[in-house]
Amino acid sequence: MNSRQRAALKDFARAVNTLREAGVIRSHRYLGDIAEFLCAGMFGIDLATNLRQAGHDGLRGEVRAQVKYGGGKKTNVDLGNPDAYDEIYVVLGQESVVRAPAYEGDFLVYILTADEARALKTPGGSYSCGASYFEREPHRVIWIETYAN
């Protein structure tokens, strides 16, 4: 490991600790936790305190809400089991290969109902969507510099 790599790892560890202390991340799934934090503030989702709760991440009133982060090189976003939630929020980061280049912002948020997710059932029986689904306009664009909840 060279000195640049060592410094980057130290910076990352400090950033993780800072995000945890600020209540942004709650587990080792950093990007998913950040997506949940952003959606909780923006859409009024009360995140579950049980991090192992199956099927949905929290409630928006009586509505069971699931949040998924789609980023990196994955060519699709797994939508989980739509029988376990009423709506799902898909958050795409800047590095997501399924993100349409026409839209700027740090994060794009797409909202689907459980019925919309069911319509995206794959031949293998799971539920997911790829880049063509995200060519449409996002429901919300999040810019970190101006984000306020």
Domain of 117: which CATH number? 3.40.1350
Q: Which residues of 60-78 are buried (b: 16+ CB within 10 A; e: fewer)?
A: beebbbbbbbbbeeeebbe
Given a cut of 80, is residue 60 above it in pLDDT?
Answer: yes
User: Range of 61's domain?
Assistant: 29-146
pLDDT (tens digit per residue) in 74-100: 899 999 999 999 999 999 999 999 999
11: buried, middle or exposed (CB in 10 Å: 19+, 13-18, 0-12)?
exposed
pLDDT score of 112 more than 70: yes
| Structure confidence at residue 51 (pLDDT) | 67
Would residue 6 count as lying in a domain? no
* 9 domain residue, yes or no: no
| 121 to 25, 117, 129: CA distances (angstroms) | 30, 7, 9
Q: Is residue 43 part of a domain?
A: yes
Q: Does residue 85 sit in helix, strand or coil?
A: coil
> Which amino acid is present at 97?
V
Total number of domains in the chain: 1
Asked whether residue 82 is assigned to any structural domain, the reply reads: yes
Question: Is residue 134 situated within a structural domain?
Answer: yes
